[in-house]
């Protein structure tokens, strides 16, 4: 079982490399390469924004094959809204990487993150690619996570051991994201790697369902990116029988994948631009899951709720107002609200415990808000964060 120098578990057969292309500014690693020593079954989920970056358009076509072997990713420039030239640059990046790796261009996925509307500095990227391929194996998964950060304040890495019958495989991944976080998907890049053999269609279904329950239930600022991409590569080097959806090992694999994507979802919200609190909003007692999710997102996206949380003000009236405009049907006289374990609303009326709830907000950086509609049996949880002055500063200065 492989571990890198940061003690991160590494799936068999994956190599990593980072480099400096000075895409936005010099002095930091900003381009990275993930390489599987053998072809891998590959699946992905992409932004649903109508405006899609060039690499997203390219990868959406490539993912149809269900195969991949490498991911090249840059930070500092999103290669979005760059027209035909942007598509040519994304394709050329894949072609040059394939040439240096001596594999087919169809097996190379290209990802970008950063400023929208600025052409890629292709001469710098072309100069960096040969060094990336030469240095494969000299860097760690954490190095990749650091190289793809934009406004993130820390690299996000998760790895897990997974027992598949008498063998132990690894699921490991990285992600980036701290702003423009809203479904579908949340704004982010996420790459998950495993040495476990998983059938192509099963892998695709698994990652789509995991994304639905994790990245599609977080929001920081209600803005959706042009570059959102989650890719998973399963190279099968563990040597297990290929997992299919109806096999005994599928549940074990899927639970581990769910834990990783949900773990990343929490890390992204925790690292929300300028955030001081992670807020879990759970709606229960809804008529169905769709209504529960809709209500939870209305509260999670309310700037009034988010600023109240930042100010340690248990202003539950803002929560009720957000529920009211969420578009779902409910009886306000049956609603109960807990902030932490403090019931601030019972049957639509305040309980007089706002001061206690204020105290709870002051003492906790992870906050829970539970809303019971008392209408049905469905529930949904959405993660968000508070809204602070720092969020404005970070985004006002993003291009400078």
Under 8 Å CB-to-CB from 160, ≥6 apart: which residues? 9, 170, 171, 172, 256, 259, 260
- Of 259, 172, 177, 262, the C-alpha closest to 217 is 262
Dist. CA 106–CA 291, nearest whole Å: 41
Active site residue 384: no
Encoded tokens for 265: 């979802």
The secondary structure element, H or E, covering residue 175 is: strand 167-176
User: Bridge partners of 193?
Assistant: 172, 233
Q: Which two tokens stand for residue 230?
A: 């989650």
The Cα–Cα gap between 181 and 191 comes to: 17
DSSP 64: G
**Residues whose CB falls within 8 Å of the CB of residue 144, separated by 6 or more in sequence, listed in order:** 16, 18, 32, 34, 73, 174, 191
Q: What gap in Å lies between CA 102 and CA 326, rounded to an integer?
A: 53
User: Which residue in 97, 187, 202, 230 is the catalytic one?
Assistant: 187
Crossing angle for the helix pair 250-270 and 200-213, to the nearest 10 degrees: 40
Q: Rounded distance, CA 199 to CA 269, Å?
A: 32
Q: Looking up tokens 């925790």, which residue turns up?
A: 270
Cα four-point dihedral sign 62, 66, 69, 74:
positive
Helix axes 83-101, 54-62, angle to 10 degrees: 50
Strand partners, 337: 345, 371
Q: Which residues are catalytic?
A: 187
């Amino acid at each position: 079982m492989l571990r890198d120098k940061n003690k991160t578990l590494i799936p068999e057969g994956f190599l990593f490399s980072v480099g400096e292309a000075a895409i936005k500014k010099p002095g930091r690693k900003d381009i990275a390469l993930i390489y599987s020593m053998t072809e891998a079954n590959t699946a992905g989920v992409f932004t649903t924004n109508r405006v899609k970056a060039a690499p997203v358009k390219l990868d959406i076509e490539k993912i149809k094959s269900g195969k991949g072997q490498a991911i090249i990713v840059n930070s500092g420039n999103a290669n979005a809204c760059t027209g035909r030239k942007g598509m040519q640059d994304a394709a050329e990046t894949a072609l040059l990487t394939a040439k240096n790796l001596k594999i087919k261009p169809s097996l190379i996925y290209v990802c970008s993150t950063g400023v929208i509307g600025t052409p890629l500095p292709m001469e710098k990227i072309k100069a960096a690619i040969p060094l990336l391929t030469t240095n494969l194996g000299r860097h760690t998964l954490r190095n990749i996570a650091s190289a793809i950060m934009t406004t993130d304040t820390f690299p996000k890495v998760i790895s897990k051991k997974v027992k598949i019958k008498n063998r132990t495989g690894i699921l490991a991944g990285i992600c980036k994201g701290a702003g423009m976080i809203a479904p579908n998907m949340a704004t982010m890049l996420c790459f998950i790697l495993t040495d476990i053999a998983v059938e192509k269609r099963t892998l695709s279904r698994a990652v789509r369902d995991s994304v639905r329950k994790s990245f599609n239930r977080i929001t920081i600022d209600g803005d959706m990116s042009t570059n959102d991409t989650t890719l998973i590569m399963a190279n099968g080097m563990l040597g297990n029988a290929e997992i299919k959806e109806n096999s005994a090992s599928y549940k074990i694999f899927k639970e581990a994948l769910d834990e990783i994507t949900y773990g990343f979802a929490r890390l992204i919200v925790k690292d929300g631009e300028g955030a001081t609190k992670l807020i879990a909003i759970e709606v229960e007692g809804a008529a169905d899951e769709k209504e529960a999710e809709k209500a939870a997102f209305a509260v999670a996206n309310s700037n009034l709720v988010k600023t109240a949380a930042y100010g340690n003000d248990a202003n539950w009236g803002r929560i009720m107002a957000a529920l009211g405009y969420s578009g779902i049907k409910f009886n306000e006289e049956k609603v109960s609200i807990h902030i932490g374990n403090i019931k601030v609303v019972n049957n639509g009326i305040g309980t007089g415990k706002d001061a206690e709830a204020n105290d709870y907000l002051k003492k906790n950086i992870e906050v829970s808000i539970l809303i019971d509609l008392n209408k049905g049996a469905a529930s949904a949880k959405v993660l968000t964060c508070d809204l602070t002055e720092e969020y404005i500063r970070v985004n006002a200065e993003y291009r400078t």
